[in-house]
Amino acid sequence: MNPRVEWVLKRPKYQRVLMLVGLVVALMGLYGWALVLPGIERLSELTQESANLQVKIDADSRVAANLPRYKAEYEKLLSKLDEALSELPNGKEIPALLTSISSTAKTSGLDVLTFKPGAEVPKGFYAEVPVSLKLEGSFHELANFFYKIGTLPRIVNIGDVKIGLIKSKKGDSSKNNLSVDCMAITFRFIEGATGNTGAAPKKGSAK
């Protein structure tokens, strides 16, 4: 017989019981360390993942609940963008638009002494197209011209307005009593432009 086993068997009964209990406790501790502890750690990880997923689900649920409103706002913004771009002529339309400005002045009764388009000024997805004007006519004709410009389908803003009186010569029955220097600014949409240095132009934005 193994001396160690023989030594144990010779111990008093209470010592053998204590040894057996100690052995069982040691085996249970080893089992807990080897099997239960990793399970507890894994359970903790799964609990944290579940909490994170619940937070994401709650956030996604709020987005889903507001999706119709977001979609409506998006479509509204697209509509406004289309409306704004419709007021910006492309390059092919600029000559006709400039002609319409001159024609508007003439049909308003003004004499067009100077009509000088200037160099375009790029502003991102659009460019300013300035036109220097020198006009002569009455106050009523000038007011009529400004009004008609404001009703054009394309954006045309009048700025840098300088008005002077024309001294009538003796015996001159000309109705022209005002000399007007101003800048008419329209805008051209730059196709394919990706940059944007500012908001889209609006009527009345030129100074």
Range 58-63 average pLDDT: 81
Domain shared by 77 and 102, yes or no: no
Range 62-67 average pLDDT: 79
Tell me which of 86, 117, 136 is where a domain ends: 86
pLDDT above 70: residue 162:
yes
**pLDDT, averaged across the chain:** 75
Tell me which of 58, 86, 114 is where a domain ends: 86
Contact assessment for residue 161 and residue 180, using Cβ atoms and an 8 Å cutoff = yes
**Overall number of domains in the chain:** 2
- Sequence-ordered alpha helix ranges (H) in 87-200: 94-107, 139-150
Is 153 part of any domain?
yes
Domain shared by 120 and 68, yes or no: no
Residue 131 φ then ψ, to 5°: -135, 120
pLDDT above 70: residue 173:
no
Q: Tens of pLDDT along 7-48?
A: 555 667 666 667 666 766 666 666 666 655 666 677 778 788
Task: Domain of residue 61: give its range.
Answer: 1-86
Is 44 part of any domain?
yes
Structure tokens at 202: 């609006």
How many CB atoms lie under 10 A from the CB of residue 193?
Answer: 13
Domain with residue 95: its CATH number is 3.30.70.60
Contact assessment for residue 132 and residue 161, using Cβ atoms and an 8 Å cutoff = no
Domain shared by 103 and 170, yes or no: yes
Q: Which helix (H) or strand (E) holds 118?
A: none
Domain shared by 28 and 13, yes or no: yes
Q: Is 123 helix (H, G, I), strand (E, B) or coil?
A: coil
Domain shared by 98 and 151, yes or no: yes
pTM value? 0.50
Range 65-86 average pLDDT: 71
pLDDT above 70: residue 85:
no
Is 205 part of any domain?
no
Is 142 part of any domain?
yes
CA-angle at 183, arms to 177 and 184, nearest 5°: 105
Q: Tens of pLDDT along 183-205?
A: 988 887 776 654 454 555 665 54
| Strand partners of residue 114 | 134
